[in-house]
Amino acid sequence: MEIVIATWNAHKADELRPLFPGHRLLLPSEVGLADCDIDETGSTYLENAFIKAETVFKLCGRPTLADDSGLSVAALNGAPGIKSARYGSADGTTKLDASARNALLLEHMKGQADRRCAFICCLVLMYGDNRFISVQETCPGLLTEVPRGFGGFGYDPVVYLPELGKTVAELTPEEKNRISHRGRAASRMNRMLSILEPNK
């Protein structure tokens, strides 16, 4: 199946493509859509993923996959959550870079004994008018005291996975694809796609 990804971020596309073998994932620019700013007004990962999928689907009329992801920290009542990419932004739009967000998060967690956190990923695939499937998965871990590792991106250096003895930034790409929130969500979405395709 050819699927348009509801993002103009080539890095996110590069991470999603290996998770959907047998499908061709295209950036909106590859089907003639100019970059546009989608207003993510939802209060949950599902609502924001749906908004992105529906917006791009209506523009291109092709099956569209949207991803909304973030980091939820137990001691911070679920923050940064859906605002993970804008965490620490004074005006809610200007973004800190990843290292600055990580430093701010660890500063806010100073002295906290409860280090539990989880990456969350919601995927929505819209494949027709009012026709969509969605899945949400998690990758639980513990916040480190200091960043570790140079792989991945975003909050990966500050999320430690006890079962592997590594931060997400220390995983190989294969390990990350297997156990990450996005990898787990994609695995479930692929199973649904295998059922959907013969019946679309």
Catalytic residues: 68
Own/partner contacts of 165-171, CB < 8 Å, gap of 24 or more, are 168/119, 168/139, 168/141
3-state secondary structure of 178: helix
- CB contact set of 64 (below 8 Å; sequence gap of 6+): 3, 4, 5, 6, 53, 54, 56, 57, 125, 126, 127
Distance between CA 109 and CA 101 in Å, rounded?
12
Q: Residue 111 in contact with residue 75, Cβ under 8 Å?
A: no
